[in-house]
Amino acid sequence: MEIILKQDVDRLGSKHDLVTVKSGYARNYLIPQGMAIAATPSAKKVVAEVVKQQAHKAAKAQEEAQALASKLQGLTLKIGAKAGESGKIFGSVNSIQIAEAIQAAGHDVDRKAIHIAEDSIKELGTYEATIKLHKEVTATVSFEVVAD
């Protein structure tokens, strides 16, 4: 029996795949659990259209991420922090402060997408952060930690 999967199923296939399984497995487990639907001609057309639209949306999202990455590539940020005489910071600089500085520069980036090479920045100086904008697009931003 041919079915179309509505979600990823281990050792069978991923979402929107057209697979052939034994009819008992389809009728007694996959379809009642909501994991699949019968592969009728109309269902195949609907799934083909959904896959086409998702591919278009994914391409558009990647294009937007690429454009944002090119804008962020040349950006240098200054992050102010309270520091002592020796250049040590009271506290540390993390992805939240970097996200706020990027937002102040006019770009919207999720703080969870920002990765700093060092675990925590506790001294004044120049550092780099990597921002994952899309699963295939990353940008590197340099920032300078200065004393307030």
How much is the pTM? 0.68
Range of the domain at 9: 2-60
In this predicted model, what pLDDT tens digit does every residue of 81-112 receive, in sequence order? 899 888 899 988 988 999 999 999 888 899 89
143 and 72 together in one domain? yes
54 and 115 together in one domain? no
Phi, psi of 90, rounded to the nearest 5 degrees: -80, 105
CATH number at residue 135: 3.10.430.100
53 and 84 together in one domain? no
In this predicted model, what pLDDT tens digit does every residue of 6-63 receive, in sequence order? 999 999 999 999 999 999 999 999 999 999 999 999 999 999 999 999 999 999 999 9
Rounded distance between C-alpha atoms, residue 107 and residue 116, angstroms? 18
143 and 78 together in one domain? yes
State how many domains the chain has.
2
